[in-house]
Homo-oligomer: A and B are copies of this chain.
Amino acid sequence: MKFRVFSELHYDVQAPSTIILNVHALRTPSQAVLKETLTLEPKLPYEEFESQSGENRFVRLNTGKAKEVVIRYEALVEREHELIEHQKLTPVAVKRMDSSVIPFLFPSRYCQSDKLNRLAWKMFGEIADTYDRVAAVSDWIFDNVEYVRGSTDAQTSAFDTITERSGVCRDFAHLGIALCRALTIPARYFTGYAHQLEPPDFHACFEAYIGERWLLFDATRLAPLNGLVRIATGRDAADAAVATIFGAVTTRKMTVDCQPTEAGFKALRRTDLRDRGFSLDAA
């Protein structure tokens, strides 16, 4: 399926600043960027670079003396996904886990899994099957955390959300990650464009490593799983913020869009999975 993704960010610049942007569609074996353009107003010089582990495509730009900066990104992306039958999702013990996956077991800034151990095992420890366990985590978050715009901020972490029970997509994802890690299931942060997300915005989900596959879970259930285009993967939002700003810049406006370019998009949601895992990394 092909998607046209688009984002436009208007910044007011109070002092010369450096912005590290993270809005490019990622290139992966199952996600091809067919065409893309990045436009800056004014025409500032910028540099693209990838994170060491290849899970982000950053753009670094320097505002210089500009008082306003408009960043416009547009891409045509072809993306596959895969539905995986439950019986193939054999859990991988830590002793056999691929070493690249191990760091996703460690706690991170917004996912203090080390503080959620007892709770996680108490709540989900009796579910024997790993996939069922993660699905239960995601469903529990959906059922018990309220999606409340503005109830949290950039400092809110899973340790807050498990108790305060409110947040936005980023908080839902962080809590899912923290609970998985506490259960010794590697988990990572996903950020991307999302078709049919209302109101349109960047979206965040989490991925859990089960049966040697990264499966995607959206505890908010706000967007169809097959309408997502990956921007970045990271330990948590600290690795994958839309923009990290060094200086004095404020966001004035933001527009985000994600549309299939072909007819016949059929939304695939949690309830359509019928016991199958969903992965954005098609085999």
Contacts and interface: CB of A to CB of B under 8 A. Distances in A.
Given A18-B93, A238-B108, A103 B244 contact: no
A60 interface: yes
Interface string A24-54: 0000000000000000000000000111110
A37 B93 CA distance: 27
Contact of A18 (B95, B106, B116, B239): B95
Contacts of A105: 244, 246
Interface in A100-118: 100, 102-103, 105-109, 111-112, 114-116, 118
Interface string A128-146: 0000000000000000101
A238 B106 contact: yes
Contacts of A60: 94-95, 99
B165 A159 contact: no
A184 B99 CA distance: 31
A164 B121 CA distance: 11
A58 B119 contact: no
B62 A99 contact: no
B122 A144 contact: yes
A23 interface: no
A163 B162 contact: yes
A58 to B, nearest CB: 7
A87 interface: no
B52 A103 contact: yes
A99 B50 contact: yes
A271 interface: no
Contact of A112 (B109, B114, B184): B109
Contacts of A118: 146, 164-166
Contacts of A144: 122
Nearest to A93: B18
Contact of A103 (B62, B116, B239): B239
A232 to B, nearest CB: 12
A168 interface: no
- Ranked nearest first, the 5 interchain pairs of A and B with the lowest CB-CB distance are A118-B165, A49-B99, A18-B94, A106-B238, A62-B95
